[in-house]
Every structure is written in structure tokens, then in C-alpha cells.
Amino acid sequence: MTTQTTDMATAMLKLENQEDIMSINIENLSVEELKNLQVKADKLIEEKTEQAIIDAYDQVLAIADNVGYSISELLEMGAKRNKKATRKPVEPRYRSKTNAADTWTGRGKQPRWLVAEIEAGANLEDFLIS
């Protein structure tokens, strides 16, 4: 690696301003130099991502402390709020006259057996369970 390209790669990593980074010409770097630059950039990205997560965590802690709750209390409440209410099964409202096992609650798409019966001339009310 030449001194000039080493200096260029080092300078690129040290620059904070994105406009300055864009003005550096990396096309003259060798494959080896580009790989080294990529490794350093990946490491820097990982460090900055980790720091962003730490900062976000600290902000959440500060907000929780400010309102007088712990994070576990807030997470527990969030879990309760996002939990879907389980519905109890609905009793069937319609039953086939030919097969007692064929039933329909009246919700959703009509089952094939009922569609066939209605197409054959039956009324929906004929299948109501008393």
C-alpha cells in the first residue's frame, strides 16, 4: 500500500463531513486497500449502531424515570395492550338437512354445502337451527 493511498484511506475514515467524504476519489485505490477500507467502515458502522442503541435505551430509561415507572412495568403494559382478545367459539346458526355435521355460524363465507343447497332452490332460513 502506498503512503499516498494509506493517507487517503486514513483521512477518509477520519472525516465527519459527508461532503468531504464524497470528494475523495477512491477509484485509484487497489483492491487490497479497498478491502481494508471496507473492513474499517464496517467496524465503524457497527460501533455507531451500537452507540445509537445505547443512546436510545438511555432515552427510554429517562422517559420511564420521568413518568415514575420502570421499563419492565411499561413493557408489561404494552404487552397487555397489544394482546388480542381471544374470542369464544360461536354456536352454529345453520345446519345441513342432509348431513348434521355440516354447520355454519353465519359468519364469513358461506360453506359449499349451503351454497349448493341455495342454488338448488332452498332458502337460507330453511337451515336455521331452532
- The predicted-structure confidence for 6-18, as pLDDT tens digits, reads as follows 666 666 666 555 5
pLDDT tens column, 112-122 = 999 999 999 99
| Per-residue pLDDT band at 4 (split at 50, 70, 90) | low
Does 102 map to a domain? yes
Question: Is residue 29 a contact partner of residue 8, using CB atoms and an 8 Å limit?
Answer: yes
- The whole domain housing 110 covers 94-127
Does 43 map to a domain? yes
What's residue 33's pLDDT?
92
What's residue 26's pLDDT?
86
If asked whether residues 60 and 103 sit together in one domain, one would say no
> How many domains does one find in the chain?
2
If asked whether residues 78 and 100 sit together in one domain, one would say no
If asked whether residues 46 and 67 sit together in one domain, one would say yes
Does 77 map to a domain? yes
C-alpha cell at 65: 424515570
If asked whether residues 40 and 72 sit together in one domain, one would say yes
Least confidently predicted of 27-41, 72-86, 111-125: 72-86
| Per-residue pLDDT band at 32 (split at 50, 70, 90) | very high
Detail the DSSP E strand segments found in the chain. Answer: 94-95, 103-104
C-alpha cell at 32: 487490497
If asked whether residues 78 and 39 sit together in one domain, one would say yes
Residue 128, beta-bridge partner list: 94
| Per-residue pLDDT band at 83 (split at 50, 70, 90) | confident
What's residue 46's pLDDT?
97
